[in-house]
Amino acid sequence: MGNKIRWGILGTGRIARAFAEGLKHTINGELIAIASRTFESAQSFANEWEIPHAFGSYEELAGSELLDAVYIATPHTEHLKNAVLCMEKRKAVLCEKPLAINAYQVSEMIQKAKEHDVLLMEGMWSRFPPLMHEVRRLIQENEIGEIRTIHADFGFRPEHKDPEGRLFNPNLGGGSLLDVGIYPLSFSSMLNGKPKSFVTDWTRGETGVDEQASIILKYPNGSMAILHSSIQSDTNQEAFISGTEGTIKIHKQCWRPQKITISTRKNSKNKVIELPFSGNGFNYEAEHFSQLLIDGKKESDIMSLNESLEIITLLDEIRGSWGFSYPFE
Ligand SMILES: NC(=O)c1ccc[n+]([C@@H]2O[C@H](COP(=O)([O-])OP(=O)(O)OC[C@H]3O[C@@H](n4cnc5c(N)ncnc54)[C@H](OP(=O)(O)O)[C@@H]3O)[C@@H](O)[C@H]2O)c1
């Protein structure tokens, strides 16, 4: 493996563009290929982003000897199939969140990564900006004492409600929980681990998917997390960690953290830390992943496969308690 990872992207949608931009701001990766289900779309994306190789099928990109790593930027329902296609060709895979639709699919994906001995990671990009490293350091160093409560939410109202698009279409794994609810749930998991119980309720939309979800998690030590997701309305998009000795607020938008306020019992004045992104933020997860690959690692210590599995298992249990499953499940 060289010291610059050669990347390809599967899919030419919205997030593929954000990742292409992010890669431009990394020192250890370069984007050299794009694949679409149609050659025209791949070629137009390649022209826009000045990418040397365009493929008119995912299979061609997966099989290309030019590449080391593939970023999967397709709807949730396609992740398993697309990731397996690439891993079978010994490509490292960074797959958008959620890693797959349910725990069954995620387990299968992890098993394939182990079978083919390749690096696999869920693209939970919020974990990698410098400020999230700072939040983890503050918690580890006991700056706010023991965590007792987390409040976090991610809600937005899309401009157009397209019943066929991936956000509202049950056949594409639509709904707020898997699209945005996974951010506060992953955040809480990062800080608190696995909950022992939860209560939840949801709002079912016209297409049958969850347009709102509220969840209260309870952890073995009595700590709690109050989380919310919505694709019906804009919410605060903030996170608030309350400990026995102080609090940390991650300002809007907490899923792309750039500003926190720390308030502690021992200091009378609040401390504000601002760490604006260099690049668009996707560069941090891309750089982390490229470095893992350069170092010969098969898993990330910041977003481990076991944790991805734990999180999707919880999402399954939450959906199960509502009596909501996807048509293909
Ligand atoms: N990290 C983040 O902040 C973030 C933000 C948004 C989305 N995401 C994640 O990224 C993934 C993609 O989201 P997106 O918003 O980029 O979606 P999108 O704009 O709809 O694009 C998805 C792309 O996937 C490809 N595709 C393959 N099979 C498809 C199918 N059956 N139906 C529709 N498209 C299909 C298409 O590319 P071709 O036609 O070129 O093959 C399409 O352009 C989702 O899993 C989502 O959770 C992450």
Calculate mean pLDDT across residues 161-188: 98
Does 1 have pLDDT greater than 90? no
| pLDDT tens figures, 133-169 | 999 999 999 999 999 999 999 999 999 999 999 999 9
| Nearest CA residue ID for atom 20, ligand 1 | 13
Give the Å distance between the CA of 115 and the centre of ligand 1: 27
Residue type, 63: G
The residue to mutate among 17, 39, 74, 122, having the most atoms of ligand 1 within 8 angstroms of its beta carbon, is 74
* Residue 206 near residue 222, CB atoms below 8 Å: no
pLDDT at position 3? 86
Burial of 57 (0-12, 13-18, 19+ CB in 10 A): middle
Which residues, listed in sequence order, are joined to residue 29 by a DSSP beta bridge?
Answer: 5
Domains of the chain: 5-125+282-298 (3.40.50.720), 130-276+311-322 (3.30.360.10)
Calculate mean pLDDT across residues 63-91: 98
Give the Å distance between the CA of 278 and the centre of ligand 1: 24
Calculate mean pLDDT across residues 226-236: 98
| Nearest CA residue ID for atom 26, ligand 1 | 74
Q: Which two tokens stand for residue 247?
A: 């609090």
Which residue blocks in 25-170 are alpha helix, DSSP H?
Answer: 39-49, 58-63, 79-88, 103-116, 130-140
Counting from 1 in the atom list of ligand 1, the atom nearest the Cα of 97 is 47
Give the Å distance between the CA of 307 and the centre of ligand 1: 23
Counting from 1 in the atom list of ligand 1, the atom nearest the Cα of 17 is 16
- The terminus-to-terminus CA distance of the chain in angstroms comes to 39
Residue type, 49: W
pLDDT at position 40? 98
Number of Cβ within a 10 Å radius of residue 220: 11
Give the Å distance between the CA of 198 and the centre of ligand 1: 30
Half-sphere exposure of 25 (CA within 13 A, CB side): 14
* Residue 7 near residue 68, CB atoms below 8 Å: yes
Residue ranges lining ligand 1, Cβ < 6 Å: 11-15, 36-37, 41, 73-76, 78, 96-97, 123, 125, 166, 172, 179
Does 2 have pLDDT greater than 90? no
pLDDT at position 54? 98
Question: Given pLDDT bands bounded at 50, 70 and 90, which one contains residue 179?
Answer: very high
109-148 in b/e form (b: 16+ CB < 10 A) is bbebbeebebbbbbbbbbbbbebbebbeebbeeebbeebe
Counting from 1 in the atom list of ligand 1, the atom nearest the Cα of 37 is 41
Percent of the chain residues topping a pLDDT of 70: 100
